Structure 1
């Protein structure tokens, strides 16, 4: 999901109504998938995208009308139907889009302040919308932010069965879903920690990889044992730049979880092996190590002598990156980032 909640908070502070269009479901071939968001302002300025083209223009037009009415709507768009008289580049497929109008008020601003803080802290939560009206027609919403421990920011809108399901972690997706409780309807949007790319090695490839990650809104943490390479001036867009005395202790101050992606590109084989051995003890979604097959096989042999299983080693992406015959540091960074994007999408 695109990190637009900071932008939504900024829009709320401007005091003018605006709309947020979110893809709830997608079927078939569509330009964007569930969870993609776009903010639409009254002057037709947009932030984010739900795929561009004619269908995005139709959604913008619908949002403009809804802003005037202070109403929200869920609508299905058939790309075959909507685009049949447009360009001949037809994706085909269906999108169900939530077009929600935000009318700024202090309570709503407070909820999104808490939400942005939650994301910065890397914690999970749930944005809950109670539908006033019915989802098959125009409606308004009331919101609250819920933590897994049942702490609520905003109004207490949640019936016990829904709270029980939240506590039982039954909402694990990355996009909003409809929930029915009798005649009442809710929209539940899980909030997950932002993905973080941990780059071990601040050399030429690490430098280009951090730049590439910034372009696609993936936050990075850079780790190296050389301060002249690993410093905030060289990596201005990174969340953190860590200088370690030895790579043997590189993970001591890091919080690696299922939203973490690890790239190992240090300046030496022994350093790579040390980082890889520690990385394999984490729950990272991706572990990739640069180098030739000969280097990889030697490191694997060393780790197997230490008790690492073949099954565990099979989870590593090495040689790293998509096979695009990359040679320069920037090209290698593109290859690595492409592989990470692929893994993120499959996850």
Structure 2
């Protein structure tokens, strides 16, 4: 297995974005060979090579754009000083490269499971999320089970445990992670009380902007399945940055839940 493929496999296992560039066609003189591959990670590290020099620099530049814009495609490079697709060299050949970003599926972490968690898991998987269900022990102020789950910038956390103590403990931990969405089930009274606990313990109100409580869009449903739909709809809205109240989407943030 090549170094590029080894690095790509490791990135996928670690839920880390990566871009693979593969030389698929070479015409004339070129430092690149058909089948040569290079992997680019978000921090700029690479593995493998596609010939080095200006050609490799041009390929990596397009790979960075592919990683940012989330698109795959064929890219043509002319090893000449001037002209369309020229990269400023004198080799005279032409190279075609397929550049493909590999992006981890968004992660939906359901803390508590139960009658709402079951349909939410099914719906989340159907919507393309990698779903993780975490059962925590009720009544404890710690959540070691949740702490074992790696929460990143594309993790969406749903807190639906059986008691307010577990929900608050899980919320406190989730706030220490980069998770962009943390939804917590419960009444307005429960949410207000937990908000006051957090502020009293030094949490910044800005930290609470990621917390949506009571959880879910207000769709009017009352069954577990309908509540699961409301939760998933809110997660999707946040993932696509539809985070401001509009006529069609009403989002409730914890920092706005005041007495």
The normalised TM-score by structure 2 is 0.68
Aligned residue pair count: 215
Which of 11, 15, 18 is 1:122 aligned to?
Answer: 15
More strand by share: 1
The partner residue of 1:307 within 193, 196, 202 is: 202
Tell me how far apart the structure 1 counterparts of residues 76 and 143 of structure 2 sit (CA, whole Å): 51
Distance 1:133 1:144, change over 3 A: closer
Residue in 1 aligned with 2:162?
A: 267
Gap change, CA 1:269 and 1:144, over 3 Å in 2: same
> In angstroms, what is the RMSD of aligned CA positions?
3.5
What is the rounded CA distance, in whole Å, between the counterparts of 1:209 and 1:247 in structure 2? 24
Report the equivalent of 1:325: 220
Give the superposition deviation at 1:170.
8.2
User: Does 1:176 find its partner at 2:69?
Assistant: no
Are 1:156 and 2:50 matched, yes or no? yes
The 5 Å alignment of 1:277-292 reads 277-292=172-187
CA positional deviation for 1:249 = 2.5
What secondary structure does 1:287 align onto? strand
Residues 295, 188 of structure 1: alpha-carbon distance in 2 compared, 3 angstrom cutoff: same
Does 2:115 align with 1:204?
yes
- 1:116-157 Cα offsets, whole Å, 9 max, x none, are 6642442332121446389xxxxxx857351433223xx735
Q: Which residue of 1 aligns with 2:250?
A: none
In structure 1, the residue matched to 2:252 is none
For 1:150 and 1:112, locate their aligned partners in 2 and report how far apart those are by CA, in whole Å: 11
Work out the CA distance in 2 between the residues paired with 1:166 and 1:255: 30
**Cα deviation 1:156-187 (Å, max 9, x = unaligned):** 35633146648989832322256565265544
C-alpha distance 326-247 of structure 1, shift in aligned 2 (>3 A): farther
Partner SS for 2:222 = coil
TM-score where L is the length of structure 1: 0.53
Query: CA separation in 2, counterparts of 1:292 and 1:160?
Result: 57
- Measure, in 2, the Cα distance between the counterparts of 1:302 and 1:263: 20
1:336 aligned to 231, 239, 249, which one? 231
1:296 aligns with 2:207: no
Contact 1:131 1:187 in 2 (8 A): yes
Deviations 1:1-30 (A, max 9, x none): xxxxxxxxxxxxxxxxxxxxxxxxxxxxxx
Contact 1:115–1:145 (CA under 8 A) maintained in structure 2 = no
Q: 1:247 to 1:224 in 2, by over 3 A?
A: farther
Distance 2:59 2:115 in 1: 49
Query: Contact (CA 8 Å) 2:109, 2:158: kept in 1 or not?
Result: yes
**Where do 1:217-256 residues align within 5 Å?**
217-225=128-136, 247-256=142-151
Question: Counterpart of 1:188 in 2: which secondary structure?
Answer: strand
Query: Offset of 1:298 from its aligned partner?
Result: 1.0
Higher relative contact order (CA 8 A, sep 6+): 2
Structure 2 runs not aligned, ≥5 long: 28-33, 78-86, 88-93, 243-259
